[in-house]
Chains A and B, each alone.
Chain A
């Protein structure tokens, strides 16, 4: 993600807002649109880490799962409103990410990746080991459709649920845009380009990376809480490694150069799973192929497709 020439709000903010408004009109189902929002918000946490600081995390599913469980427990057992539970879940995600981050950011490159993966695996097995708290492999059920806040605006209305999820998602996107456009974002970007040189300039790279990991954890947890609101249920799969992979794949396919990439990647991935699976049960091969093509030829993801085509057009001989 580059900060050059970035302001907040900018054109991308408007595009994201329009996209969120248009999504339920374009798609045949409101629930599919809601699923895209959840996945896009989760993928945004990967985009923030990879695009801003160059940190590849295979463990965002841990925070996603934590957010899902925390919000579900607060809504079901403590009768909290959706808004309060969502905020609490995001804070829980931040806290866990900060705690894990203290260890993770000590390492770089492949060791960083392996540590994120190890934490994600640990989270999955903890969820499995405490079935009384999480429901184990049966999942955490009986989460009621609560109201947004103060007993008002019950989320049993699917359109209202979508609107609420869209607002939360937009808030996350706006936050990431704001971060990227801030001086803090510039430092993150400089760490991504050259960590040693940034430290030589006096920036404590570890602290900046820790802050980014913490914020990304909070965003992933927010996505988990949104998932709970959508499903009224937390499947064990919310915290498994496959969820981490899915978030990362969505962000890579869309492109980590802009928050918009997470939205595009999530839309493509969810729509493919919805439309292709009835036609061909082995549809995941298409996703794998798309990922290969993206990594090999579209380093900026689908978001950079226009640029690649334009460059190719210019390189073609006249006539």
Chain B
């Protein structure tokens, strides 16, 4: 007869075995990819969409470098400190080497540093220029374009179309991203003979912009240019339109999040407004056809920028892993640096010098409600261009 100790020991082994097996399988077989998403906190609405996009991509691709993929969700709660802590845990306790996504630049910059010091690979959607500029590193890649690209691919084609629209007034978020947009805009205006007649700064916490808009009206500009992001863009635009600015001023939103923003604004506000965007679902490209097909099949919705951003970072990671043929970090970084693939915006290439994904940025024009072909057909694509700072001017030293 077995004694009580033996029975207890056997029971303990029995209880522990599944978790040990799980861990062993996780470490030896599947490639785990940590996804930094804010599912609670201020940025939960962004994080949820990015999370869904990435999950669907993992579900679609299933394997990379001949091994199954496993999605590891890391809820940073919108807090860069927590994001760093979760990354440290994932690296130390689970041995995760591949990371993706972020809901704001502060999170991405902090995580990038942590992943680099631990020898991992990270691709994100940060808007901050520093990501592929002064704070770039060997282990980090960025999918969306920098502010230089956003301004140059929207303002140049706009000014070409309206050479008489010389006087520009800007409403700018007083934070690093807004300032970067403003600086680039001033450079382009200076080069093309435009005139910057005034600027109103608003803070990160502002929600009411009527004072800024009346100042803009008083300056009698030809163009009102909005240089901020997220819900503040939506609020500024909505209030500018309600003040009647569309009647005798053209409005350019340099950085928009596309469909979800248009849905929240509605077609009446979007009509006649020019938007810059990283993604538009109507673009005819093989990678976009795949993405829209999968998203419509799984979610019965049209992909928004946020869903796409989650998908795009996952796709790039999968493509790099496949190209490397292994999950060894140096091999994957090398593969990333020469990567070229059919992404959501067409042919997307990674630039080795600063780890920026070279992709199209779109200038979109809001169309009248009567001309919308379906409920998500808010805009026409006016131009799709690539414009990136030369590598030696980004400040990135890898």
Interface residues of A (CB under 8 A from B): 28-32, 35, 125, 128-129, 131, 136-139, 141-142, 158, 227, 230-233, 235-238, 273, 277-278, 281-284
Contact = CB atoms under 8 A, between A and B. Distances in A.
Given A131-B176, A235-B80, A29 B89 contact: yes
Interface string B72-106: 01010101111011001100110000000000111
A282 B44 CA distance: 10
B40 interface: yes
Contact of B176 (A35, A137, A141, A142): A137
Contact of B110 (A35, A158, A233, A282): A233
B203 interface: yes
B174 interface: yes
A142 B113 CA distance: 7
A227 B176 CA distance: 23
Nearest to B126: A138
Interface in B248-301: none
Interface in B93-129: 93, 104-106, 109-110, 113-114, 128
Contact of A281 (B40, B84, B88, B104): B40
A127 B367 CA distance: 41
A281 B81 contact: no
B73 A238 contact: no
29 contacts: A28-B93, A29-B92, A31-B85, A31-B89, A128-B204, A129-B174, A131-B175, A136-B175, A137-B204, A138-B128, A141-B109, A141-B110, A141-B113, A142-B135, A230-B85, A231-B80, A231-B84, A232-B84, A233-B110, A233-B113, A235-B79, A235-B106, A235-B110, A236-B106, A237-B80, A273-B82, A281-B48, A283-B40, A284-B40
Interface string B11-50: 0000000000000000000000000000111001000100
Contacts of A227: 81
A137 B85 contact: no
Interface in B324-363: none
Contacts of B109: 138-139, 141
Nearest to B105: A138
A139 B89 CA distance: 21
Given A29-B93, A283-B40, A237 B79 contact: yes
Interface of B: 39-41, 44, 48, 73, 75, 77, 79-82, 84-85, 88-89, 92-93, 104-106, 109-110, 113-114, 128, 130, 135, 174-177, 179, 203-204
A125 B75 CA distance: 27
Give the interface centre of B75, B81, B85 by most chain A CB atoms within 10 Å: B81
Contacts of A141: 109-110, 113, 135
- Chief secondary structure at chain B's binding surface: helix
4 residue pairs, one from A and one from B, having the closest CB atoms: A235-B80, A281-B39, A139-B106, A281-B40
B80 A278 contact: no
B40 A233 contact: no
Given A233-B113, A235-B106, A278-B75, A139 B80 contact: yes
A128 B203 CA distance: 9
Given A233-B110, A277-B39, A282-B40, A31 B88 contact: yes
Contact of A238 (B81, B128, B130): B81
Given A128-B175, A138-B128, A281-B39, A273 B77 contact: yes
B106 A137 contact: yes
Contact of A277 (B77, B104, B177): B77
Nearest to B107: A235
Contacts of A284: 40-41
Nearest to A131: B176
B106 A281 contact: no
A32 B110 CA distance: 17
Contacts of A139: 80, 106, 109-110
A233 B84 contact: yes
Contact of B81 (A30, A125, A235): A235
Given A137-B106, A138-B128, A231-B84, 12 more contacts: A31-B88, A32-B89, A128-B175, A138-B176, A230-B85, A231-B85, A232-B84, A232-B113, A233-B80, A233-B110, A237-B106, A238-B81
